[in-house]
Chains A and B, each alone.
Chain A
Amino acid sequence: MQFQTGEHNYLRRSQAESTAAELGCLFSGTAPVPAMPKGEQSGSIPPLIDNLEDAPALKIIFPQKKYEILAIDGGSSVLAKGGNIEVIAWRAGCVSFDDINRVDEKCPPPEILAYNRLTVQDILSDYLADTDVTIVSQEQPIRLVDELRWLEEWKLLSRLIENSRPQSLILIDGSLHLNPLYNADSQHGLFKNAAEKKVYLAAVTKTSSLSIDRTTPIDIGIKNNTELNNSIWYKKINQKLKADSLWLGDIYLARLHSGADKQYRVDLNRFDEDNTDEIMGMIASVSDDVEFAGYPYPLAAAHRLARIDSIFKQDMLNSLKIALDNSDFSLELWQYLTRDIHDKLNADIMELTHNDQ
């Protein structure tokens, strides 16, 4: 067994140098243009049931045997920004657990890219080339760093589904919404494939159970219900999905440990309806860590593994600066890139805590 020494948190010199060179090229031909508007890309939410309080809370029962449980998460960060030029870094990592013990982990050093935001479509298409994912929505504004991170997680998920034994559970950070930017059939295909292989998929929303996509507040009304407060349970909160629904998962609220201070939103693969009890049991069986009670520990581990935190971000910037120092543009370009960053310092911290993790 080896200790983690943070060996996946580094930027190779060659990466820094080629990015610096790319930046040089970008800079020489850049004219400032207005930034693109940001937009939601959450997709349509399936109709929720009317009264959450009345929905039956089903008791979660721990499975008898131990399963392999994997967890996936991604990390990304905007390292620098100036006009239309942006430098971004992203990656996806996964961990696998045998009960409480970590048996394996995979997390590469991040990819890094300097690009002009006017060329987003082309870049994304390039990255999609070796997948069966295609862009279908031309109206959607694209935030490249999010899409590349999504794609990285998606590719990793495909690989894990392919290589997992039946009745393994793959935990995903976030929700199982369909990404409306891309063709639905590739996304459905992956989830159907998982169901056929009996590889379970579940997404758990890290932030809070009390809203869905930050727009729909959920009043679950259990504050004064001692019975529900002291037990573990789940309830389904969306109405039955139509056969042709584009949505990938059914949405549940679940209280995964009797000492949890909140319930989490859990999405399960909608093509795998028969195994809900078992999957919830499996999730609960890894949600009894004393520090993260009520939240599946493997996801916390995956998050910590893959995230690009501010210290690492600073490291990468330093490597980049060193590489830039060796080019003709160094000072001018660096000021151009970091002026914007300084202007957006607070926004950046917000991004770090919410998205860039």
Chain B
Amino acid sequence: MTSNRFIGRLIGKSVSELSFRSFYAGHISIGSIVMVDDDDTNRKYLLRVIDVSYGHESSEANWAEKVAGRMMEEDQKDRLYRIHDPERRLYKIVKCSPLGYIQNNKFNRPRSIPTHFSPVLLPDMETMEFLREYSGDLIVGYLRCGEDTMDISLGMDGSTLSQHVGIFATTGMGKSNLMKVLASAIMESKEYGLLIFDPHGEYFDGGREADRKGLKDHPLADSRFFTRTLRNLKGAQVDKLSIPFSEIEIEDITQIFGFSQAQYEALQAIRIKYGKEWLYKLCTKDLESLLEELQSSQLSFHESTMAVLIRRAKRLLEFRTVNKDKSYSTVGDILGKIQNGYTVLVDTANLSQDEETLVTSVITRAVLKSYKRKYQTEGDFEKLSPCLIMLEEAQRVLMASTGDTNIFHRIVREGRKFKVGLGVITQQPKLLSEELLSQLNSMFILGLADERDRNIVRSSSKQDISSLSTEIQTLAAGEALLTSPTVPFALPIKVFLYEDYLKAIKTNYKQTVEKPAEDFF
């Protein structure tokens, strides 16, 4: 076996777990994909390395302990020694989970085991070519083989965006970077709308770190990228983020205030009586005249109930994004862009948590509502671009402990039918319910340090990744596993570093400067 891809021979043990002996000096890391060339059946099996352990040939009891003891003795006496013949006496046992086999260029699930002692090889391009079929149209990185990569670009299938996406990683493991790369792929595809809520102000220009780039630096940004913010950001398509009172619904308010049953009933009554003006009325009228007006419609409420409602409504006046002028609204404008396959960044970086939540809720709800309406009433639903709503720090609104009735939960439940997907980005998936997680059909799993986070993600992914806990724990920044209904197994991906990615694509886009068609909006 002269091939330098040769790394060992198969020694055991079942359809669900294979292991091979590998060289003492060989480096093989968890997560690597290796292949078994089975000449007898003409199949190439693919295996994923899930564990590496020590092996030695001595049949003497406790040999390794004895040798180590001997070494320590020599160490203490400052004597030099070596291990001779290491490749014969020492080796590695590599445990793998079988991914499947390739026969006639087709990938199949594993149902049998390769011939005993079959040679194990590092995969070659020719064998892995089949993965291109599963690469999807939204490319985010290269096939990762342990610590190396292979020149096979991989990503997710845009058609599954509306079946929701999860991006999970401990802070610093590459969520934001992946988000930017995925946003770029979506922009470039021109087929999907993308709405990003950015509480950290990092997606527009890369944030505070000087060498980081943002979406505005993308070659297509001038034509396909729009930003709504209150911050003073420089850019051609940056505009004010503004939510008119008339767009706010009770459901949005309940995201930030708790209401008693009586208060909630009063709100509903007011909503019915004043229509879209309800909130405006609530914070501009004084208590007495409001009570009176309601009284005239046979609606009587406790004075204290109404006082609380008015006080809370008036707090909204302090939100700089909320305006009384209904002639100007960001919301409709955002909807139009998304539905036509553009990318909109809603920058909530300098907003209070409550204001951010309100803004996020109002816009998200509006998106679902508009897609739903087109689905129900208009014939051109087919022409509508599917859209993805990306939510950073998603645990804040999707936490299992706060129930499952808000707009974000609704999108996860109903969005798929209306082409609206939710992108859930969080560093603490354990705070989300298993039910919610199981609705996220695609998951990018990056490094997760906490075992509970790993466990819940593992148990709710679309592929069996139950044996990959160690791998997920040891993923370095930017290394991901992608699970999705359209891939044959959890794909190991090295996500492009956004800054490198920009450099690479910029040359492609030099000539093609594109302007949005005016009549879209």
Listed in ascending order, the chain A residues whose CB lies under 8 Å from chain B are: 1-5, 97, 100-102, 257-259, 286, 288-293, 297-298, 301
User: Mind listing 11 A-B residue pairs with CB under 8 Å?
Assistant: A1-B87, A2-B1, A100-B86, A259-B74, A259-B77, A290-B81, A290-B82, A290-B83, A293-B81, A297-B85, A301-B88
- CA–CA, A97 and B88, complex, Å: 12
Q: Are B87 and A102 interface neighbours, CB within 8 A? A: yes
- CA–CA, A151 and B1, complex, Å: 34
Which of B9, B71, B87, B117 meets A290, CB within 8 Å?
B71
Q: Is B61 close to A, CB under 8 A?
A: no
Which of A97, A101, A257, A259 meets B73, CB within 8 Å?
A259
Most buried by A among B70, B87, B88: B88
- CA–CA, A5 and B1, complex, Å: 14
Q: Are B87 and A101 interface neighbours, CB within 8 A? A: yes
Q: Which 8 A-B pairs have the closest CB atoms?
A: A297-B84, A289-B84, A100-B84, A290-B81, A259-B79, A258-B79, A102-B85, A288-B81
Shortest CB-to-CB span from A96 to chain B, Å, is 11
Q: Which residues of B contact A101 (CB under 8 A)?
A: 85-87
Q: Is B21 close to A, CB under 8 A?
A: yes
Q: Is B250 close to A, CB under 8 A?
A: no
Beta-carbon nearest neighbor of A260 in chain B: B79
Q: Is B517 close to A, CB under 8 A?
A: no
Interface size class of B (residues with CB under 8 A): 20 to 34
Q: Are B74 and A100 interface neighbours, CB within 8 A? A: no
Shortest CB-to-CB span from B516 to chain A, Å, is 62
Shortest CB-to-CB span from B59 to chain A, Å, is 10
Q: Are A288 and B88 interface neighbours, CB within 8 A? A: no
Q: Is B67 close to A, CB under 8 A?
A: yes
Known A3-B21, A291-B67, A293-B74: A100·B85 in contact at CB below 8 Å: yes
- CA–CA, A350 and B338, complex, Å: 88
Q: Which residues of A contact B82 (CB under 8 A)?
A: 100, 288-290
Known A3-B9, A259-B77: A290·B67 in contact at CB below 8 Å: yes
Q: Is B80 close to A, CB under 8 A?
A: yes
Q: Which residues of B contact A100 (CB under 8 A)?
A: 82-86
Which of A4, A286, A290 meets B74, CB within 8 Å?
A290
Shortest CB-to-CB span from A97 to chain B, Å, is 7
Most buried by B among A3, A5, A102, A258: A3
Looking at chain A's contact residues, the main secondary structure is loop
Q: Are B88 and A4 interface neighbours, CB within 8 A? A: yes
Q: Which residues of B contact A5 (CB under 8 A)?
A: 117
Q: Which residues of A contact B1 (CB under 8 A)?
A: 1-2
Q: Which residues of A contact B79 (CB under 8 A)?
A: 257-259
- CA–CA, A297 and B89, complex, Å: 12
Q: Are A291 and B85 interface neighbours, CB within 8 A? A: no
Q: Are A97 and B85 interface neighbours, CB within 8 A? A: yes
Q: Which residues of B contact A292 (CB under 8 A)?
A: 84
Shortest CB-to-CB span from A289 to chain B, Å, is 4
- CA–CA, A293 and B66, complex, Å: 13
Most buried by A among B71, B83, B84: B84
Shortest CB-to-CB span from B10 to chain A, Å, is 12
Q: Are B87 and A289 interface neighbours, CB within 8 A? A: no
Shortest CB-to-CB span from A316 to chain B, Å, is 20
Q: Which residues of A contact B83 (CB under 8 A)?
A: 100, 289-291
Q: Which residues of A contact B23 (CB under 8 A)?
A: 1
Shortest CB-to-CB span from A171 to chain B, Å, is 13
Shortest CB-to-CB span from B162 to chain A, Å, is 52
- CA–CA, A301 and B87, complex, Å: 12
- CA–CA, A100 and B81, complex, Å: 11
- CA–CA, A298 and B85, complex, Å: 9
Beta-carbon nearest neighbor of B86 in chain A: A100
Q: Which residues of B contact A286 (CB under 8 A)?
A: 84
Shortest CB-to-CB span from B310 to chain A, Å, is 82
- CA–CA, A1 and B81, complex, Å: 25
Q: Which residues of A contact B70 (CB under 8 A)?
A: 290-291, 293
Q: Are B85 and A301 interface neighbours, CB within 8 A? A: yes
- CA–CA, A152 and B73, complex, Å: 40
- CA–CA, A292 and B67, complex, Å: 10
Beta-carbon nearest neighbor of B63 in chain A: A291
Please give 14 more A-B residue pairs, beta carbons under 8 A apart, in addition to A259-B81, A289-B83, A293-B74.
A1-B87, A100-B83, A100-B85, A100-B86, A259-B73, A259-B77, A286-B84, A288-B80, A289-B81, A291-B70, A291-B83, A293-B81, A298-B84, A301-B88
- CA–CA, A139 and B80, complex, Å: 51
Q: Are B88 and A257 interface neighbours, CB within 8 A? A: no
Q: Which residues of A contact B73 (CB under 8 A)?
A: 259
Q: Which residues of A contact B87 (CB under 8 A)?
A: 1, 101-102
- CA–CA, A107 and B518, complex, Å: 84
- CA–CA, A290 and B72, complex, Å: 10
Shortest CB-to-CB span from A292 to chain B, Å, is 8
Shortest CB-to-CB span from B38 to chain A, Å, is 18
Shortest CB-to-CB span from A300 to chain B, Å, is 8
